[in-house]
Chain A
Amino acid sequence: MTTLLSLQAVTGGYGDANILHAVSMTVSDREIVVIVGPNGAGKSTAMKAVFGLLNVRGGSIRFDGDDITGWVPNKIVQRGICYVPQVDNIFREMTIHENLEMGAFLRKGDLSAAFDRVYTLFPDLKERRKTPAGSLSGGQRQMVAMGRALMLDPKLLLLDEPTAGLSPKYMEQIFQICRDVRGTGVAILLVEQHAKQALEFADRGYVLAAGQNRHEGTGANLLADREVAEMFLGG
């Protein structure tokens, strides 16, 4: 498997202060990688670093053969990474269909194949395509958000806590969709609060704390690690 995304010793933050301290991680083709860690560990910040939303002061970020450190989000989107933020990740006043359409904004020409693909992954959305996204339930909103990000047919999808605030049933459904998405050839890097379930379902995981790498390994290995279990999985 070839490496798709790699962060090498990335250091950076929002203002002058650094939030990330030499964080490194990789995601390979068609891989599902999860980042776990306590609140405020810098998980979201690591994602924003990839997406060009951070002042990166040290290290580099490579994607699919290019050094994308310092690129603007617009260019990164075009290069094949799509990002679903943790909050405010839909256009509330626009319909589901329009949300998806905005996701494909950079795409020229006929969008019907892209719509088909997303509606196949999310059949619920197709039925309600004319509904304003703001009126949907939390789980459905998350699907709209993911659908929007998938419209450009990215190589890598960044998901920031897609299951936050969802019921276990929806959580399982989102994880299943992640597997389906991976099945269409997309790699996924996601942040999860539900560390245990996420590590069970992901290929590999990273544990971040205080802006630094703490542990890494396959999901199963991390789950078996006594220290990880005590510190981050609630015993």
Chain B
Amino acid sequence: MDFLELVNFYIIPGLVIGSIYALGAVGITLVFAILRYAHLAHGDLATLGAFLALAVVTGFGISPLAALPIAILGTAAVAVGIDKVFYEHLRERPKIVTVMASLGIALMVRAVVQVIWGVDSESYVKGIVRPDVYFGLRIRDREIYTVIAMIALVGVLQVFLTQSKWGKAMRAMSDNPNLALLSGIDNKKVVMLTWIIAGGLCAAAGVFLGINTELKSMMGWNMLLPMFAAAILGGVGRVEGAVLGGLIVGVAEELSVLVLPSEYKAATAFAILLFMLLVRPTGLLRGKVL
């Protein structure tokens, strides 16, 4: 196999799926760091986002990219709502209780998708898209959009977190929650902001997964493990780590096919997760260990 082949058939698809994982992993890492629990409904929120976009695409006949902002807003609103109705009153209880609640939410969100949209595969646009060739690299437009959108969204988030008052408040809450409260930072607003961001990014992950593959009711749940592996690989609480982790997990999954039967692609993320917990639980960029 020559180098171009390696890039075309493994690296590029890996970076694309990795960008999608990254979008989800950033939300997971923020929730993990600020709210301090593993949110198991994250994947299914991505599914919901993807199907919300499908509704807009079929309803108004616009492209999935144009539907993306609506899906982001809708999913962010759902995420905030779920927090208010189901998670908020568990805040004083041990965090693991909320982890359990989120497993139930995962099931509920998925059930809603299955009732409304059924369990068959759907897609935004019919037909096969052939890749264009640039200097021997085979790339589809949608793959370019995916990577660029990920970079843009995470870039905006980084600017928000490092430059704005409320972004800094989120970092402060992640850094030292007690001191943040003593400084008068409004915990409730920070939590809400976290869910808006995490929910929005979930939707983006779901929509781009739908654009690049297809929409299924299990699509998000199947992404949960790679997304968590990415967040932990990068270091919990590290946004840039989640991106790095996502890309590594994506590429590693594609490359795994070279040494493992392709059925076990999904095992790659699991192996990475256990490996990191074993040798470096703080992740590549020294995140938190809860």
Contact = CB atoms under 8 A, between A and B. Distances in A.
A170 B143 CA distance: 57
A141 to B, nearest CB: 12
A98 B182 contact: no
Interface in A31-73: 51, 73
B186 A74 contact: yes
Contacts of B165: 101, 105
A162 interface: no
A151 to B, nearest CB: 9
B184 A94 contact: no
Nearest to A152: B184
Given A74-B184, A105-B184, A85 B172 contact: no
Contacts of B186: 74
A117 to B, nearest CB: 17
Given A74-B186, A77-B184, A148-B183, A102 B172 contact: yes
Nearest to A77: B184
A88 interface: yes
Contact of B172 (A73, A89, A94): A94
B171 A93 contact: yes
Given A90-B176, A105-B165, A85 B182 contact: yes
Contacts of A152: 184
Interface string A204-222: 0000000000000000000
Contacts of B185: 102, 105
Nearest to A83: B182
Nearest to A148: B183
B181 interface: yes
Interface in A75-119: 77-78, 83, 85, 88-94, 98, 101-103, 105-106
Nearest to B178: A88
Nearest to A134: B175
B125 interface: no
B179 interface: yes
Contacts of A91: 171-172, 175-176, 179-180
B183 A105 contact: yes
Interface string B177-206: 011111111100000000000000000000
A92 B182 contact: no
A102 B183 CA distance: 7
Query: In the complex, which range does the number of interface residues on chain A fall in?
Result: 20 to 34
Contacts, number: 57
Nearest to A145: B179
Nearest to B181: A73
B175 A78 contact: no
B95 interface: no
A85 B178 contact: yes
A91 B186 CA distance: 16
Given A102-B168, A105-B165, A78 B179 contact: no
A113 to B, nearest CB: 17
B179 A89 contact: yes
A106 B180 CA distance: 11
A220 B186 CA distance: 43
B176 A88 contact: yes
Contacts of A101: 165, 168
B243 interface: no
Contacts of B184: 73-74, 77-78, 105-106, 152
Contact of B183 (A77, A88, A93): A77
Contacts of A89: 179
Q: Which of A89, A101, A102 has most chain B Cβ within 10 Å?
A: A102
B169 interface: yes
A81 to B, nearest CB: 10
A98 B179 contact: no
Nearest to A103: B183
Contact of B169 (A77, A83, A92, A105): A105
Nearest to A151: B183
A88 B179 CA distance: 8
Nearest to B288: A93
Nearest 6 CB-CB pairs, A to B?
A: A106-B184, A77-B184, A91-B175, A102-B172, A93-B175, A102-B183
24 contacts: A73-B181, A73-B184, A74-B181, A77-B183, A77-B184, A78-B184, A85-B178, A88-B178, A89-B179, A90-B176, A91-B171, A91-B172, A91-B176, A93-B171, A93-B175, A98-B171, A101-B165, A102-B169, A102-B172, A102-B179, A102-B183, A103-B183, A105-B183, A152-B184
